[in-house]
Amino acid sequence: IGRACMIGIGSIILDGAEVGDGAMITAGCLIRGGKKIPPGAMAINKGGELKIVPGAAKTIMTVMGSLEYVLLAERFVRQQFGPLTADDVRALEGEAREVLRRFGLK
pLDDT in tens, the chain (106 residues): 999 999 999 999 999 999 999 999 999 999 999 999 999 999 999 888 999 999 999 999 999 999 999 999 999 999 999 999 999 999 999 999 999 999 888 6
Domain boundary among 14, 33, 53: 53
DSSP H or E run through 91:
helix 86-103
pLDDT value for 48: 86
Based on the domain organization, do 12 and 49 belong to the same domain? yes
Beta-strand relationship, 30-31 and 42-46: unpaired
Based on the domain organization, do 33 and 67 belong to the same domain? no
What are the distances in angstroms from CA 28 to CA 43, 47, 48, 63, 90? 10, 11, 9, 21, 32
d(CA 57, CA 95): 19
Domain containing 17 equals 6-53
pLDDT value for 103: 87
**27 located within any domain:** yes
Based on the domain organization, do 49 and 63 belong to the same domain? no
How many independent structural domains does the chain possess? 2
Q: What is the pTM of this model?
A: 0.80
d(CA 50, CA 36): 12
Based on the domain organization, do 48 and 69 belong to the same domain? no
Based on the domain organization, do 11 and 49 belong to the same domain? yes
Q: Spell out a b/e string for 20-42, using b for 16 or more CB atoms within 10 Å of the CB, else e.
A: bbbbbbbeebbbeeebebbbbbb
pLDDT value for 96: 95
